[in-house]
Amino acid sequence: MELKNVRILLIEDNPGDVRLIREIINEEKDSLWDVQVAATLAAGLECLASGGVNVILLDLALPDSIGLDTFHKIQCQAPSIPVIMLTVSNDEEMATRAIREGAQDYLVKGQFDRHLLARSILYSLERKSLSMDKELLIAKQRELLDDIKTLKRLLPICAHCKKIRDDQGYWHEVEVFIQSHTNTTFTHGICPKCAAAMFPD
């Protein structure tokens, strides 16, 4: 299992835990993992605002935030970045709740090595990517349903020029109206009947 060029944001205020995690990450001399450390939630949010973070290792007990509220604030600012909870053994229930609410995984402090950390990061990245793809697909489906609803309603159309009146009372060419309410793109051609009438020879 290999993870290259992964930028990790470690939000942890305990110097001993920070040192231990750094040691785990640096076990391989050619490791390309980049670790940025923030000791408070506020500092972590500032790091996220700068961009470039691939995964977050988050302690739920920080000087300026404790419990699930810590995760919720991180998730609110960076919904597309996977979050792995760092917990002590007696906080596993809270970490499990965080997973139900969107965190990707949790690791118990002092009970993981580089292999387990790498696996957690890899799976978290993959699951988050699949989740984002699913959300994008759902959004597109909703957009298509909205388009269908638009086209299924009664449309006032001029009996002479065939323009359609919108909800604000403006009249539009059929192509313009459909293009503005759906993802449809028109291509133009000439049907055989019109071609015969336009070019009798």
pLDDT 10s digits, 106-123 = 999 888 888 888 888 888
Name the token pair of 2: 């290999």
What's the gap between Cα 100 and its chain centre?
16
Count of domains forming the chain: 2
Q: In terms of domains, do 109 and 73 share one?
A: yes
Contact 22, 35 (CB under 8 A): yes
From 81, 79, 78, 82, select the one nearest 124 (Cα to Cα): 82
Give the tens place of pLDDT for each residue, 18-72: 999 988 888 765 567 889 999 999 999 999 999 889 999 999 889 999 889 999 9
Q: Which domain holds residue 186?
A: 154-198
**Residue 183: pLDDT above 90?**
no
Report yes or no on 125 lying in a domain.
yes
pLDDT of residue 39: 96
Q: In terms of domains, do 64 and 111 share one?
A: yes
Give the tens place of pLDDT for each residue, 120-174: 888 888 877 676 656 666 667 777 666 655 556 667 888 888 888 887 888 888 7
pLDDT of residue 89: 73
Instruction: Give 37's contacts (C-beta < 8 A, 6+ positions apart).
Output: 10, 11, 12, 18
